[in-house]
A and B are shown apart, each in its own frame.
Chain A
Amino acid sequence: MSLETVDSEGQHIASAVSDEVVINLSQVNKWYGDFHVLKDIDLTVYKGERIVICGPSGSGKSTLIRCINRLEEHQRGDIQVNGVTMDTNLKNIDAIRRDVGMVFQQFNLFPHLTVLENCTLAPIWVKNMAKSEAESVAMTLLERVQIPEQAAKYPGQLSGGQQQRVAIARSLAMNPNIMLFDEPTSALDPEMISEVLDVMVGLAESGMTMLVVTHEMGFAKRVADRVIFMDQGEIVEQNTPDEFFNNPKSDRTKLFLSQILAH
């Protein structure tokens, strides 16, 4: 079996990693009741770095990125985002959430607001932006995700792919410097996956720091600076996509790759 780093979709896009640390996790542990979901996670993410996290379901990958914007609370270890330490201080949590955008598997758009209102809600109410300014920012972003014509519609009137692109635009409206993606294409029909991935590739080209939980290996090969493989709450292996796919170190990784690339 031959594995190529560069798939048919195009060249691996240029990396823009600086040596500035934006996320630092050290010895992070988390339990759900007695169940140990994250075990001694150490992870450093540099500015502009694009990380793809993969692994079998239940391996803790979603939990890991949800800890980074405090949708989940970790119980032991340190998490620093943009130099701010995650603790129970609400000011710190607010500061982190302002700078970290998140895209969910189930989109989680607000169904009672139009597409445009979804994108302007947080800028107006959190950043105290003027409405007209927030709207022009939102329109720019909707053009970037290629659905400006849907601005006045409600989420329920859009297709899944369109909804997910709105969700990306909504996160970008807060002008974050880190984006978290929690299986952004898993709830989509096959023909809609590529329109969402295209937007994410565009985002990567612009130099955004991204942590992406996904099973789209083509995307990982093309975009990632680093691929992390997790199983049973720990990071089993992390490497450049080239090394990861062609020359996996751990047998567990080899098994995983053989299963997902078998057909």
Chain B
Amino acid sequence: MAELTHTDAVFTPKPSQPPPPNTVGVVGWLRKNLFGGPFDSVMTIIGAGLLAYFAYGLFQYTIVNAVWEADSYRECLDVTQGAGACWAGVDKWMNNYLYGRYPDAEQWRVNLGGIILAVWLAPFWFEKVTQKIAVGVSAVLTYPFLAGALFLGGDNGLFMQAMSSVALTLFAAVWLNVAACYSGRRSLGAVLVQVTGFAGKDDRLYKWVYLAAFAVGFVVAFIFQSTWNLAPVQTTNWGGLFLTLVISGIGISTALPSGVILALGRRSKMPVIRVFCTAFIELFRSVPLITILFMAVTMMPLFLPVTLNPDKLVLVIVAVCIFAAAYMAEIVRGGLQAINTGQYEAARAVGLNYWKMMTLIVMPQALKLMIPNIVGNFIGLLKDTTLVSIIGLYDILLMVRASGQDPKWLGMHTEPMLFAAFVFFVICFAMSKYSQHLERTIGGGYGRR
């Protein structure tokens, strides 16, 4: 029997026949998915009818009957009789929806800040780039200072200047690293070692090379940024979508580290630490965000020294950070619980101490598992940030409301709200789809790399 090794040689299967015509193709699909039975067919027809009705109505309102050029809401209404949208008003207010009352002449700074962030994070999606974690960490830790210096303008003291210089240096380092990776080298560090001639020498000296390179970069960056002369813009003038993104961005980037600490504290064996972390998490998770915001603007000033007169935006950001950290802590805890105890035991068995076990073994695995939830949390936070409009910060939602109270555009509520809903939907939907994509690609991807 040894010669019988190939199926084809010994067996000719009957040729496959095409399936019955009404079970495949368009007809089969329709029969299976839309007209599977009398009840199904009725549901389909009712559903399609309702859908067509709403789609037609929306199309008529937003496109066909809409007015694109007008100088006041009255003018719009004269044309549409209320049957169409007045996009002219949204267009006139667009600048405010996006930037609030940030001076027109300075808005390039906001745009530039956004572009820097995008460029900074772009290497994440580059195939060949190594040390992606460093890219993320450097951006999360130092970008806010650079952005702050850019958005605020004016003189913000030596600390801000130093931190923005660090940010600039790291930003440059990230892109030099990209260049190094794409020119066939392993990483920026390897290039530095090679250029300075330390290659092959004791690798304990390498860190001094890195440090020296960083110091050089820092000095250059510091001199560069000290030439800036940006006009100061008060935070009270920040607004619109810009403000929404600033608050939620700071919220989420501080939430991750503080959430990790809180989660570890909650799982700690030390009772004092555990009780404190648990109480913090449970307190701020059980109350609505609006009460935390009210607490921040009414109660927190009482807690601070009389001489200090804190900026309302700062108080709000602190509140949002506390809120986001409490939620993030539970996500991290969930991620930690999903890690097999075998991983902890193996880490201990090879002699790692608590912090090494956490940072080298547990957290990298847990963070991967948590990505969908973290993105979900960010979407939630972005939506919840609209609550700052209730306590009077001029975010996109308050701008939307304000435009309907503008004497020229009095009563224009539906159009700006549709616009804002569209903006939020696009951002949140794209993020959630992307996180689902990540979940699929890295979920089981341990064997791949």
Interface residues of A (CB under 8 A from B): 1, 29, 31, 33-36, 39-40, 75-76, 231-234, 236, 250-252, 254-255, 257-258
Task: Give, as a whole number of angstroms, the nearest-CB distance from B100 to chain A.
Answer: 54
Q: Which residues of A contact B10 (CB under 8 A)?
A: 250-252, 254-255
Are B16 and A36 closer than 8 Å at their CB atoms? yes
Does A252 contact B20, Cβ atoms closer than 8 Å?
no
Judge whether A40 and B14 touch: CB under 8 Å: yes
Q: Check A258 against B1 for contact (C-beta < 8 Å).
A: yes
Which of A40, A76, A232, A233 interacts with B20 by CB under 8 Å? Answer: A76
Please give the distance in Å from A238's CB to the nearest CB on chain B. Answer: 15
Return the CB mask of B9-37 against A: 1 if under 8 Å, else 0.
Answer: 11101101111100110000000000000
Nearest CB of chain A from residue B9's CB, rounded to whole Å: 8
Closest beta carbon of chain B to A83's beta carbon, Å: 26
Q: Is the CB of B1 within 8 A of A31?
A: no
Contact in complex: A75, B13 (CB < 8 Å):
no
Nearest-Cβ distance from residue A34 to partner chain B, whole angstroms:
6
Cβ-closest chain A residue relative to B4? A255
With CB as the reference atom, state the residue of chain A lying closest to B2: A258
CB-nearest residue of chain B to A30:
B19
- Chain B residues near A251 (CB, 8 Å)? 4, 9-11
Is the beta-carbon distance between A255 and B13 smaller than 8 angstroms? no
User: Does any Cβ of A come within 8 Å of B7's Cβ?
Assistant: yes
| Beta-carbon nearest neighbor of B37 in chain A | A88
Considering only CB atoms, which chain A residue lies closest to B9 in the complex?
A251
Bound form: Cα–Cα A234–B17 in Å: 13
B1 touches A75 (CB 8 A): no
Give Cα A252 to B7, complex, Å.
7
Indicate which residue in B2, B13, B17 contacts A29 across the interface (CB closer than 8 Å).
Answer: B17
B residues near A1, Cβ cutoff 8 Å: 1
A36 x B11 contact (CB < 8 A): no
Knowing A252-B7, A258-B1, the reply to whether A31 touches B14 (Cβ < 8 A) is no
Chain B: CB-nearest residue to A258: B1
Determine the residue in chain B with the shortest Cβ distance to A261.
Answer: B1
**Contact for B18 among A34, A231, A252, CB less than 8 A:** A34
The 8 nearest A-B residue pairs measured at CB: A251-B10, A252-B11, A31-B19, A232-B13, A36-B16, A258-B1, A255-B4, A39-B14
Contacts of B16 in A (CB 8 A): 35-36, 39, 233
> Taking CB as reference atom, which chain A residue is nearest B19?
A31
Task: Give CA–CA (A33, B18) in the complex, Å.
Answer: 10
Contacts beyond the supplied A31-B23, A31-B24: 10 A-B pairs with Cβ under 8 Å: A1-B1, A33-B19, A75-B23, A231-B11, A233-B14, A251-B9, A251-B11, A252-B7, A252-B11, A254-B10
Q: In the complex, what residue of chain A is closest to B28 when comparing beta carbons? A: A33
A193 to B26, CA, bound (A): 46
Min C-beta distance of B370 to chain A, whole Å:
28
- Chain B residues in contact with chain A, CB under 8 A? 1-2, 4-5, 7, 9-11, 13-14, 16-20, 23-24
For B2, the chain A residues whose CB sits under 8 A away are: 258
Which chain B residues border A252 with CB–CB below 8 Å?
A: 7, 10-11
* Separation of A33 and B20 alpha carbons in the complex (Å): 10
**Of residues A1, A234, A252, which shows the largest number of chain B Cβ atoms within 10 Å of its Cβ?**
A252
> In the complex, which residues of chain A have a beta carbon less than 8 angstroms from the beta carbon of B9?
251
Closest chain B residue, CB of each to CB of A255: B4
Give the nearest-CB partner of A236 in chain B: B11
Choose one: A36, A236, A250; the contact of B17 (CB below 8 Å): A36
Residue numbers in A under 8 Å from B20 (CB-CB):
31, 75-76
In Å, the complex CA distance between A156 and B5 comes to 43
- In the complex, are the beta carbons of A34 and B4 less than 8 A apart? no
Closest partner residue, chain A, to B14 (CB atom):
A39
Which single residue of chain B is at the shortest CB-CB distance from A56?
Answer: B7
Q: Please tell me if the beta carbons of B13 and A254 are within 8 angstroms of each other in the complex.
A: no
Q: Is the CB of A234 within 8 A of B1?
A: no
Considering only CB atoms, which chain B residue lies closest to A32 in the complex?
A: B19
15 A-B residue contacts at CB 8 Å? A29-B17, A35-B16, A36-B16, A36-B19, A39-B16, A40-B14, A75-B19, A232-B13, A251-B10, A251-B11, A255-B1, A255-B4, A255-B5, A258-B1, A258-B2
A31: chain B residues within 8 A (beta carbon): 19-20, 23-24
Q: A104 → chain B, closest Cβ, in Å? A: 25
Docked CA distance A40–B15 (Å): 11
Is the pair B11, A34 in contact by a Cβ cutoff of 8 Å?
no
Contact of B13 among A35, A76, A233, A257 (CB under 8 A): A233
The CA of A251 and the CA of B17, in the complex, are separated in Å by 24
Interfacial chain B residues near A236, Cβ < 8 Å: 11
The 8 Å CB contact of B24, one of A34, A76, A232, is A34
Kindly provide the distance from the CB of A50 to the nearest chain B CB, expressed in whole angstroms: 26
Please tell me which one of the listed residues A75, A234, A254, A257 contacts residue B14 in the complex, with CB atoms under 8 A apart: A234
Would you call B11 and A250 a contact (CB within 8 A)?
Answer: yes
Residues from chain A with a CB closer than 8 A to the CB of B18 are 34
Distance in Å: Cβ of B40 to nearest Cβ of chain A: 14
Q: Which of B2, B4, B5, B9 has the most CB of A within 10 A?
A: B4
Nearest residue (CB) in A for B29 is A33
Q: Which residue of B lies closest to A88 (CB)?
A: B37
| Residue ID in chain B nearest A73 by CB atoms | B23
User: Please, how many angstroms separate the alpha-carbon atoms of A166 and B5 in the complex?
Assistant: 40
**Contacting residues, chain A, for B13 (C-beta < 8 A):** 39, 231-234
Query: Which residues on the B side are within 8 Å of A33 (C-beta)?
Result: 19, 24
In the complex, A254 Cα to B3 Cα: how many Å? Answer: 11
Kindly state the separation between the CA atoms of A234 and B1 in the bound complex, as whole angstroms: 23
Contact A254 B1 (CB under 8 A): yes
Chain B residues near A258: list those with CB within 8 A.
1-2, 4
On chain B, the residues within 8 Å of A35 by CB distance are 16
Determine how close the nearest CB of chain B comes to the CB of A260; give it in whole angstroms: 12
Measured CB to CB, the closest approach of chain A to B329, in angstroms, equals 32
- Bound-state CA distance A31–B17 (Å) is 9
Question: What separation, in Å, do the CA atoms of A35 and B19 have in the docked complex?
Answer: 8
Cα distance A251–B9 in the bound complex, in angstroms: 9
Enumerate chain A residues within 8 angstroms of B14, measured Cβ to Cβ. Answer: 39-40, 232-234
A35 to B13, CA, bound (A): 14
